[in-house]
């Protein structure tokens, strides 16, 4: 039990410290977000099994759509799973949750970005895993 609690405290602190190195963005910069970019934001409030809390996410909407305040993202976690794609652009082993697409107002949620993005191969894997879920 104690070891389990320490794991969550460590993960929270690691994400908090990493997030402090990012910069906030203004409305005009939403149009600069491209498919595959990594953003950090707070997914809360949520209901039921939706992924919550402050975490990274990958942008899956195209740049033309991102000019609006709403941007479609997939949350990123450290827990592997059947509908998840492993990525290597973050400090620790991470997985894109392809089963939880969300359209979020990034301006209201005050997203941050440090310029990281998925590789072309990783983005193709994510979109390939997402396609049978939606279509």
Residue 124 φ/ψ, nearest 5 degrees: -60, -40
Give the model's pLDDT for residue 114: 85
Residue 22: CATH number of its domain = 2.30.30.110
Give the model's pLDDT for residue 98: 96
Number of domains in the chain: 1
- Cβ–Cβ < 8 Å for 76, 54: no
Q: Which domain holds residue 116?
A: 2-134
Contacts of 61 (CB under 8 A, 6+ apart): 35, 71, 72, 73, 103
Task: List the pLDDT tens digit at each of the 135 positions of the chain.
Answer: 555 566 666 666 666 555 555 445 444 466 688 999 999 999 988 888 888 889 999 999 998 888 887 899 999 999 999 899 999 999 999 999 999 999 999 888 888 988 899 999 999 999 999 999 888
């Amino acid at each position: 039990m104690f070891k389990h609690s320490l794991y969550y405290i460590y993960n929270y602190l690691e994400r908090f410290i990493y997030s402090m190195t990012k910069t906030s963005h203004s409305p005009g910069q939403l149009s600069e977000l491209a498919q595959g970019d990594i953003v950090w934001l707070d997914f809360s409030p949520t209901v039921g099994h939706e992924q919550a809390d402050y975490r990274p996410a990958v942008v899956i909407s195209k740049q033309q759509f991102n000019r609006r305040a709403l941007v479609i993202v997939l949350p990123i976690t450290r827990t592997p799973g059947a509908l998840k794609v492993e990525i290597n652009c973050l400090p620790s082993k991470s997985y894109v949750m392809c089963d939880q697409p969300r359209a979020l107002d990034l301006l209201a949620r005050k997203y941050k970005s440090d310029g990281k993005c998925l590789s072309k191969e990783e983005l193709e894997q994510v979109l390939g895993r997402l396609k049978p879920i939606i279509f």
